[in-house]
Each structure stands twice: as structure tokens, then as C-alpha cells.
Amino acid sequence: MTTPIISLHSVEPVRRRAERRPTGATAQRFDASFAPLGVQLGLTRLGCNVTAVPAGKAAFPFHSHRANDELFVVLCGSGELRLGQQRHAVKEGDVIGCPAGDASTAHQLVNTGEAELRYLAVSSELDPEICEYPDSGKIGAYCGNGEQAVAHMSRSDQRVDYWDGE
């Protein structure tokens, strides 16, 4: 059931499902909880959630989107925005725009404070999507949701010829 209004004061973010959590050394750098809002609000072309990130962690790797813009509103806490080659301090009340593009628009919010960093994350919902991960040299291709979804992750240096294997 959809509703036109949700109070941000009433949402409680929930940790990722166990099978989607980082493991090993990666778990030392990444962790987050999420409160999805878009579906509850009846949105079909706009993604929206509240993201809560513990001190010293980031929710996602440094990445760019080829199709979707993202907007973040810092609700509480402080951190650092990596955007392309630049780094910017962020704090409660800041509005952050991360446009679609290439590695020069790659972005990541890192909680550099001592308290939880909580932000509203809003994105266009264009499908399919291609994401680049400059720190690890990966490229992800994503299309659809549910059982019919296609998701493929590879490294950019593992190219094959169009006719390879045909």
C-alpha cells in the first residue's frame, strides 16, 4: 500500500540481508542500513531511501553511474564525499548532487565522524544501468529486477572480442 507522506523521524533503517553484506577485510570498510521509501510512496521512476552508515564506514564502493543521477541530503552526522578526484567535507543539512557520467563523476560518501551518518538518497530509476568502480577496475551491468534481472560484474581489463566464442 502506498502513502503520499512518510515522516523521516519515523523510519528505522534495516541492515542488508546477510547474503548481501561484505565479508572479510571488506566488512571493515563497508556497512549500512537502509529504509526504502520509494515503493511506499508509490514512486516508479524515482528511487528513494534513508541510508545509515556507522562511523568509519561507507555504504558502497566508489562508483559512477552511466544512466542515473543521484542526490543525497545529509540528515545527521558528518563525513566526506569523494567525487571524481576531489574530496569534500559534508555535514547535516548539505545537499549533494552526483550526476551520471564516467569515472570523473564517481562518488562515495564515507562516514568520517564519530556518530552515525544518515542521509536521504534519491536517484532516477533508469534501466538498464552501467556502473564503473574506479578503485577496483570493475564494471557492472544491471538490467531489470526480480527473477528476470540480469547483473554482470567484470574487470575492465578482461575484454573479449565481439566474435569470441561465436
Residue spans of the domains in the chain: they are: 29-126
pLDDT digits (tens, 9 = 90+) for 61-71: 999 999 999 99
Residue by residue, what is the 3-state secondary structure of the chain?
CCCCCCCCCCCCCEECCHHHCCCHHHHHCECCEEEECCCCCCCCCEEEEEEEECCCCECCCCEEECCCCEEEEEEECEEEEEECCEEEEEECCCEEEECCCCHHHCEEEECCCCCCEEEEEEEECCCCEEEEECCCCEEEEEECCHHHCEEEEEECCCCCCCCCCC
List pLDDT tens digits, range 94-132.
999 999 999 999 999 999 999 999 999 999 999 999 999
| Domain spanning 29-126: CATH superfamily | Jelly Rolls (2.60.120.10)
pLDDT tens, residue by residue, 123-144: 999 999 999 999 999 999 999 9
